[in-house]
Structure 1
Amino acid sequence: MNRYRMRFAPNVWTPKLNPWLVNLLAPLRQKRQWSELRIRNTRIVGEQIVRDALEDDCGVLLMPNHSSHADPFTIYAAADSIGTALFVMATWHVFDGKPWLTQQLLRRHGCFSVDREANDIGAFRLATGILQDKKQPLVLFPEGEIYHCNDRVTPFRDGASAIAVAAARKAKRKIVCIPCAITYRYDEDPTEQLTETMGQLEESILWRRRTGRPLDERIYHFAETLLAVKELEYFEQAGSGPLPDRIRILGDHILSQVESRHGIETSTGSVPERVKAARRTIIAKIQDGESTPETANKLKHKLDDDLEDLFLVVQSFSYPGDYVKAKPTIERMAETLDKFEEDILRQPTASIKAERSVRVQFGDPVEVSGDRKDKGQTTRVTGEIESRVQSMLDEGVQWRLSADTNSQ
């Protein structure tokens, strides 16, 4: 997972969408999609759904799953096929520290920043304004993080739906949320590259390469060892039982301890939402600066340790524990090794193992009501979109299997 700097946004980047420039640079995006991501083919399903909504002058919110660093290129490839530019909400880390020209190109492509650790009212109002007035769709990734689990969605956060609901309450046109499922598959066999990565990972924990054993078995045993190391760190003994249960117990223990240290009431929300609330509290304390110089460094070290604990919670949450064991496909093994490559070998992004194709499917829109009395609408829309995206991902798995059958 990406190791973001844990602080509030130092700046705000607003969009300066230029559809003419977006269209002009389409060949460059396609070239980079191949040269950097090894994606040769993009298949779009249901693009007419988006076209119809735009032709009806709806405010359109696209809500895709977010399993890969390739997703921004992929969603823009789909937009090129539809014939529209996009507005895209992205974490401020996408802009921060980048060259000025890169920042400007992102802004001309409709990208704008959001501070996910704060109540970013500015980004919220900007997003609602886009849905109310602009003819281009707005893209929000409701999962919030890249989890490298292409076959399963992780819980969608309510933020995207909340923006749509807020927009609908004042809009003079219909606001719709359109589910979007992005599925990747390998067109070349990446087994050799995956095996090499697995060997590097085993050597990183002082193992010899366990050649001769099935790759899925090596992945599972490696994951079990990493979990045992963390259990020894936090519980002083390794756990037992199914991996998903052990991952959940460890994450809940760490998160509860952090919440307790900062007087945060444990909620029934999802792990990412609880982490977000705790992280916001800690970052505010770091930037508050109320401690004396004598205690400032000691306090900061403790707060930094708590932020590192929270990162570990999200990191462990991204590993379902049974993802490879339940269905050891080449894509699932590759995704898990991608995660290990970033988390254990500390690569900024995982290496691309082989040539790939991608399928982007749009589903039927969910219309959002402007009825202020409908208090449960945000949660309901989030759940509906999440369910539809998962159903389309299941169809994407069949597309992936059909390619395997045809290649035999």
Structure 2
Amino acid sequence: MKPRSQPFYPAQINLPLLRGLQQIAPWIVRLYYRLELVISSDPRVQLETLKGRSCLLVCNHPTFDDPKAVFLLSSLLQEPFYYLTAHEPFRGWQGWLYQRLGAYSIRRGLADRDSIAYTLNLLQQPKTKLVIFPEGGCSFQNDTVMPFRSGAVQMALQAISRKMKQGEAAPDLCIVPISLKYRYTGKMAPVIHQTLRQLEQALRISSEGDVYERLRRVGAVVIDCCEQEANLMPVPGADWNQRIARLKAEVLDRCEQQLEITSATTEPDRERVYRILNTLEAHHNTLMADGADALDVMFRAGRRVLNFDAIYDGYVAAKPTPERFLDTLIRLEREVFGIDQPAPKGHRQAFLRIGEPVNLKDYYAAYRADRTSTVNQLTRQLQQTVQQNLDILTEATSRGISW
């Protein structure tokens, strides 16, 4: 892997290109990505009320297709959105297109000053709509939310503070919680069986039992292989959750020691992984001198932790829906076949529920009195709202589950 060609990629919106793609996006996304958007707003929120307003849109991040779903929302509003996007995809023609559609980069796990400064400037502009996924990465979970990072709320309140210091009145800046959930529209049993067979053949294990027994057997073999690769001896009586937690902790500790990185004990695993991957990339040439094999091992180890970051035993058993089966199977495919983004498993509806906007102007006095407490409180509130609306979507869509 080569170092990135530049540290920061700003948005460079091309309005004619953007408008044209907004017009044809529903057909492209439906045909190529097998996806259609279904808006399901809070009854107190009318889609039209968001038009022409400065908004920070915070959304859960269950799949790699979430930016496409949000782009379809921008098409409905007929407004340009800005998107805070991971740094990795910006090289080449894809990155060029992302910039013209409003995306700009952030190097996750680092204090990316260029990206932060750019974000603060955007949030001070009138009628700006900025999309941030505050879970910090793709969760691969269709109906549960990972803990939100506080950076989105922090930057939004800081933008208001800067406007106030310039002698202006406190501006209206709304944070809009968005809940995104997917539902397969076809019968997915054949796809689940086919995916299981491919994994079983690759791992050379039997296909006996029902689909859940087979899924657990595949998962057990993958965990065994991961432990063997990490030279970890099995712990008698340990369940899957304990084994996965031990594996992630060991992998992160080893990589950080080898790269001489120090992390806080309370820091989320994702942030530690991003710092490891950024360090590997920044010092690529030096580390190559120590051996490409060792470098590849660390890259794979970091990606593995991200892949299993939010997985836990019982995820499928708690709600054995086609979506949860395929959430887990996609993770296993990524691990066994080394596929970063497996192809869509079937046609899906992306249910997008818009929650009631929170005007940060109303919280500015509390922010001045106690910044940390106010930011944390608002972050928890937004996470809870996204999860509550996700639960509403789950209840509504569960009546139409098709196997």
Which residue does the alignment assign to 2:391?
A: 394
Which residue does the alignment assign to 1:85?
A: 80
Post-superposition shift, 1:253?
Answer: 2.4
Which residue does the alignment assign to 1:108?
A: 100
Which residue does the alignment assign to 2:133?
A: 141
**Partner AA of 1:39 in structure 2:** L
Cα deviation, 1:142-194, whole Å, max 9, x if unaligned, reads 12222211111122223322321221211351222211111110111121122
8 Å contact 1:9–1:92 — kept in the other structure?
no
- 1:264 equivalent among 262, 265, 276: 262
The separation in 1 between residues aligned to 2:51 and 2:190, in whole angstroms, is: 45
Cα deviation, 1:104-125, whole Å, max 9, x if unaligned, reads 4322321112222532211111
Which residue does the alignment assign to 1:191?
A: 189
Change (3 A) 1:159 1:304: farther
Which residue does the alignment assign to 1:33?
A: 29
8 Å contact 1:247–1:321 — kept in the other structure?
no
**Partner AA of 2:203 in structure 1:** I
- 1:364 equivalent among 356, 359, 362: 356
Post-superposition shift, 1:130?
Answer: 1.3
Which residue does the alignment assign to 1:68?
A: 63
8 Å contact 2:308–2:331 — kept in the other structure?
no
8 Å contact 2:304–2:335 — kept in the other structure?
no
Q: Which runs of 5+ in 2 are unaligned?
A: none
**SS class of match (1:66):** coil
Post-superposition shift, 1:92?
Answer: 2.5
The separation in 1 between residues aligned to 2:197 and 2:369, in whole angstroms, is: 57
TM-score, structure 1 normalization: 0.86
The separation in 2 between residues aligned to 1:281 and 1:378, in whole angstroms, is: 29
Within-5 A mapping of 1:5-404:
7=3, 10-46=6-42, 48=45, 51-55=48-52, 57=53, 59-97=54-92, 99=93, 102-171=94-163, 172=168, 173-208=171-206, 210-211=207-208, 213-239=209-235, 240-261=237-258, 262=260, 264-286=262-284, 289=286, 297-298=289-290, 302=294, 304-368=296-360, 369-370=363-364, 371-376=367-372, 377-404=374-401
Post-superposition shift, 1:397?
Answer: 0.8
Change (3 A) 1:66 1:263: closer
**SS class of match (1:238):** coil
**SS class of match (1:80):** helix
Change (3 A) 1:242 1:49: farther
The separation in 2 between residues aligned to 1:384 and 1:373, in whole angstroms, is: 19
The separation in 1 between residues aligned to 2:62 and 2:2, in whole angstroms, is: 22
8 Å contact 2:90–2:96 — kept in the other structure?
no
**Partner AA of 2:59 in structure 1:** P
The separation in 2 between residues aligned to 1:6 and 1:140, in whole angstroms, is: 27
8 Å contact 2:110–2:275 — kept in the other structure?
no
Change (3 A) 1:278 1:22: closer
Worse-matched range after superposition: 303-312 or 130-139: 303-312
8 Å contact 2:109–2:272 — kept in the other structure?
no
The separation in 1 between residues aligned to 2:188 and 2:261, in whole angstroms, is: 48
The separation in 2 between residues aligned to 1:382 and 1:147, in whole angstroms, is: 18
**Partner AA of 1:145 in structure 2:** G
Identity, in percent, stands at: 22
8 Å contact 2:37–2:72 — kept in the other structure?
no
Post-superposition shift, 1:257?
Answer: 3.1
**SS class of match (2:175):** strand
**Partner AA of 1:200 in structure 2:** Q
Post-superposition shift, 1:398?
Answer: 0.8
The separation in 2 between residues aligned to 1:155 and 1:9, in whole angstroms, is: 32
Q: Which runs of 5+ in 1 are unaligned?
A: none
Change (3 A) 1:372 1:54: farther
**CA RMSD in angstroms, aligned pairs only:** 2.7
8 Å contact 2:34–2:348 — kept in the other structure?
yes
8 Å contact 1:18–1:109 — kept in the other structure?
yes
* Aligned residues between the structures: 389
The separation in 1 between residues aligned to 2:256 and 2:337, in whole angstroms, is: 29
**SS class of match (1:25):** helix
**Partner AA of 1:246 in structure 2:** R
The separation in 1 between residues aligned to 2:261 and 2:140, in whole angstroms, is: 33
8 Å contact 1:244–1:322 — kept in the other structure?
no
8 Å contact 1:62–1:138 — kept in the other structure?
yes
